[in-house]
Amino acid sequence: MVSKLFSPIALGDLALSNRIVISPMCQYSAEHGQATDWHLIHLGQLALSGAALLFIEATAVAPEGRISPNDLGLWSDKTEAALARVIQSIRHYSAMPIAIQLAHAGRKASTRVPWEGGQSLVPESGGWQTMAPSALPYAEGDPHPLALGDEDLKRIRNDFVSAAQRLGVDVIELHAAHGYLLHQFLSPLSNVRNGRYGGSPENRMRFPLEVFDAMRNALPDRPIGVRISATDWVAGGWDIEQSVVFAKELQRRGCAFIDVSSGGLSPLQQIPVEPGYQVPFAERIRRETGLVTIAVGLITEAEQAETIVSSGQADMVALARGMLYDPRWPWHAAAKLGAQVDAPKQYWRSQPREFKNLFKQG
């Protein structure tokens, strides 16, 4: 049987060799927003994995949009040059297409890195004033963000466009998930504004759609997709029904794909975590919109990924923690499923005898 997971697919005009995506994974290892040698090591090894598409981590479009002071950024010539060095080195040895996830953390910005606890940082301790649709903190005891005004929204929209026009990567993903700024606009739990950007679902979707439109207009030939949280997992919050409506609006605007995650907006969330727990959201959005859909979340086994794709629950699968634990996951999945995978010629002699045709050569 031919593996569907290892069959080709296209995002717009970009041809991909299989259906495996390496998710954007925050590394909290940048200096003043600039990529370091850690990013070269981290992304370099993943670019040799045989996956179809490599996502650079959530990358802030402005300094105040960083989750932590150590977040990667793309808002200046210096941040662009640092990341360009990493990408140039990777492309010298790997033909894997490269994507970037552009983000603004909103009220979830200005925190310590996870291994230092992740708590909010006040300006006196190296943090900064956060901003959000409404002056509501993420958690009790957090500093209150400033509610964004019209000029702030214009500036942030332009920041996304400016970042998207840098580097020349193959694919761009707009981060509207995990409780960050664009998700904060979508959810009624974090957006209690009056006027054209708050209230009804149509109004709450307006600013994220304006950002997407601005990026789409600036880069008409680039595949641009969106990551969403399909539900807040909190009663009265953003949910799958609203996500379907949002996805249909994105489809109308030329969205190339939708990357379906969930949660992150509220510490009150109740998530029933189990293997593939978010896949039904991707399946419903794919069924009701026809958008190319990426499923994420506790997808760890080759057979599981194959079933998701072959049964039509999603077009692609994205791995994060599983890929960090096993950076050769696509090799091992191809071996289990009787498929072939791209590998660097320097590694061709490494394939086990029983999988002598595992690597594509020539």
Residue in 28, 93, 138, 180 annotated catalytic: 180
| Complete DSSP assignment for 139-164 | STTSPPPEEP-HHHHHHHHHHHHHHH
H or E stretch covering 191: none
Residue type, position 260, single letter: V
Question: What torsion, rounded to 10 degrees, do the Cα atoms 189, 289, 12, 173 define?
Answer: 10
The C-alpha atoms of residue 174 and residue 104 are separated, in whole angstroms, by 10
The C-alpha atoms of residue 354 and residue 119 are separated, in whole angstroms, by 50
Going by the DSSP 8-state scheme, the letter that residue 120 receives in this structure is B
Question: HSE on the CB side for 138, CA within 13 Å?
Answer: 27
Using CA atoms, how far residue 205 sits from 113, 151, 324, in Å, is 30, 18, 34
Q: Is 180 a catalytic residue?
A: yes
User: Nearest CA to 316 among 43, 22, 63?
Assistant: 22
The C-alpha atoms of residue 31 and residue 59 are separated, in whole angstroms, by 13
Residues with catalytic roles: 180
